[in-house]
Structure 1
Amino acid sequence: MRKILFISSLTFLLFIQGIQAQTFRPIKGWSKEVNEKLESFLNSTLTMTERKVSVFDCDGTTFGQVPHYLADEALYRYADQVLKNRNDKEAKEKLEVLNRMVKNGDNVGKVYVEDRIHFLAGLSPSEIEMIGYNCFRQAYEGKFYPEMKELIANLKEYGFEVWVLTASPEILYQKFVSEQLGIPEINILGAKCVVKEGKTTNEIILPIPQDDGKAHTIETYIKTRPLIVGGNSRGDMDMLNESAGLKIIVNPDDKTVRGEEDGPMNGYTVKSYWEKEGALIVKCNDVADPSVKFSTTEWKIRQNRPNPKQ
């Protein structure tokens, strides 16, 4: 009996110590009010025994998207550095896809997002991985938000799984995002395609994590409702509404009033809508580095609006 009581007491003591060890570390650059809300929410999860899941959008939420999305820059840079020096059938076909994307112009639209997969088709996963990784090193080094890295470190401390969703090609992003955020590559979900005999194909695997597809991706692959969801744009609305707890909005637009096609956001800016909904609004510095020359600019793809942190 004494042995049973000893083991029970020891187990309880270790449990209490485990809880006490989970300490919130204030995030530099965010206000006292934001930090207090984060700490209060995380402390409210200490006794939970079920999966604790957090989900974040990628571009503009975990790292900068100014002046261009990395997914676009990686493709146009690859075309400039590699494909334009070749005259074979594959290179010509890929350049035709890029020209089609330029003509389309809507780089957040479904067709354009799918064409990124079509452009990369025929390359091996390792080749695509390095196209994304090299682009990150050449043009986006240092653009991961330090505040988001600190937030994710806190989430790990509190036992959260951290997932990242992107409408960009999954293989293109997994290596550098995994390294920068310290999460497994399998926790980075993006636009997927079938791989056959070591080569990627045009066969897209649904859902694509874009607009309502982000919410469907959570249901399909993560398989539980997240306690925390973070995003930055109108396209993240459906995903953010999957949150069972905290919604975090990074650098939300406060200039464009959304229309009827945006459903419940009609008549609001992204910022005013989420303020109304009680989400946590945070700022991270996202401005262009004038020392970096972007191929995407030369291809005349629209630029994203800067978000200087004041």
Structure 2
Amino acid sequence: MRLKKILRKALLIGGFSLAFIGISLAQSYHQISGWDQTVNQRIESFLNSTRIIKERKVAVFDCDGTLFGQAPYYLADEAIYQFAKETYANKRDSLSKAKMAIIDAMLHGDNVGINYVKNRIAFLAGLTPDEVKTIGKNCFHEKYQRKFYPEMRELLANLQAYGFEIWVLSASPELLYQQFVQENLGIPADRILGVKSVVNQHKVTDQLVYPIPQDAGKADAIQTFIKARPLFVGGNSRGDLEMMNESVGLKLIVNPDNEKVEKGPDAGAMKGYTVKGYWDAHDGLTVYCQDIPEGDYTYITKEWGIPANKSHAKKSN
């Protein structure tokens, strides 16, 4: 009888030990090869500090420029302009005229304001959700399939190993990005959030669902849709400021601009700083990923006169 108790106790202790070893092995950090030791040490230290957290561990990332390259042009714009040229340009029917009027407004207006975001959705209205997903997926495979940053893939793998929920929050149309982002990063589609609109009778409408994840709306979207304060947030621009300040842990800034000084009423707390300067002063972790044009592609965005986005050759971190 005593021997049985001893064996039972040993097995129990061994079980706990194996479970602890399993957790330790699962939550082990793998060095991100494209970033230097200082960056890796800070990320690893942060992740190790989250091991004791039993509640939801949430990480939120912007998409364009953060997970995914945006040079020379945004995928959302190229996908929409290419579809417009192939489907509606130079046609005289009422639908084609109406859609090209929206394109004209996009081409000659502010491409970072709320009206631009609304025009993207208005252009896609009338299509089925699957048709919109296919437009994004086809453009990705044709011109952008090498644009996901390998360093960010490795970071996401580390976050998953430490039990984080990973969310994507973009100011691009949600349906346009969901499929190709899900297929390439393994993030569930319902955690890939963008600008939403009501779907009625199986068709996309121009009736927006608020909050719109643009600028301060990204912070509202975290509170409305994700419903948790993130421990880790990654962004790349002024538009991610409020979202990144939702983080109660680490704030990662990718390829931040260090030339343009933010000013005017839209600058918010970043007024008087460059993007990099602001996060250097507010405990952000700056990292760099290579974002340069690749392949000899014909971009309709270029053909229709939109200036190219700034390239980022890889810098040391």
**Cα separation, partners in 2 of 1:28 and 1:254, compared to 1, 3 Å:** same
Say yes or no: does 1:289 pair with 2:294: yes
Percent identity of paired positions between Structure 1 and Structure 2: 52
> 5+ unaligned residues in a row in structure 1: which ranges?
none
**Which residue of the partner structure matches residue 207 of structure 2?**
203
Equivalenced residues, count: 309
> Could you give the per-residue CA deviations for residues 238-268 of structure 1, whole angstroms, max 9, x where no partner exists?
0000001000000000000111421221111
The one-letter code sitting in structure 2 at the alignment partner of 1:226 is P
Report the counterpart of residue 27 of structure 1 in structure 2: 32
Q: Deviations over 1:58-79 (max 9, x none)?
A: 0000010111111111110111
Paired residue for 2:171? 167
Task: Single out whichever of 158-167 and 76-85 deviates more from structure 2.
Answer: 76-85
Give runs of aligned pairs for residues 107-186 of structure 1, distance below 5 A.
107-186=111-190
CA distance in 2, matches of 1:11, 1:253: 51
Superposed CA offset, 1:139-166 (max 9, x none): 1110000000010011111111000000
Conservation of the 8 A alpha-carbon contact between 1:193 and 1:204:
yes
**Distance between the aligned counterparts of 2:91 and 2:13, measured in 1?**
71
1:97-137 Cα distance to aligned partner (Å, 9 max, x none): 10111121x11110011100000000000000000000111
Give matches, 1:1-310, under 5 Å: 9=13, 12-21=16-25, 22-84=27-89, 86-104=91-109, 106-261=110-265, 262-289=267-294, 291-310=296-315
Distance in 1 (CA, whole Å) between partners of 2:22 and 2:216 is 38
The alignment's TM-score, normalised by the length of structure 2, stands at: 0.93
Backbone CA RMSD of aligned residues = 1.8
C-alpha distance in structure 2 between counterparts of 1:56 and 1:96, whole Å? 33
* TM-score normalised over the length of structure 1: 0.95
CA distance in 1, matches of 2:199, 2:97: 22
Q: Which has the larger radius of gyration?
A: 2
Mean alpha-carbon deviation: is it higher for 90-99 or for 108-117? 90-99
> SS in structure 2 opposite 1:84?
coil
Q: Is the 8 A contact 1:19 1:46 kept in 2?
A: no
Q: 2:59, 2:15 → 1: CA distance?
A: 28
* Alpha-carbon separation, structure 2, partners of 1:172 and 1:90: 21
| Whole-Å separation in 2 of the counterparts to 1:189 and 1:170 | 6
Residues 185-206 of structure 1, C-alpha deviations (whole Å, 9 max, x = no match) = 1110000000011101110000
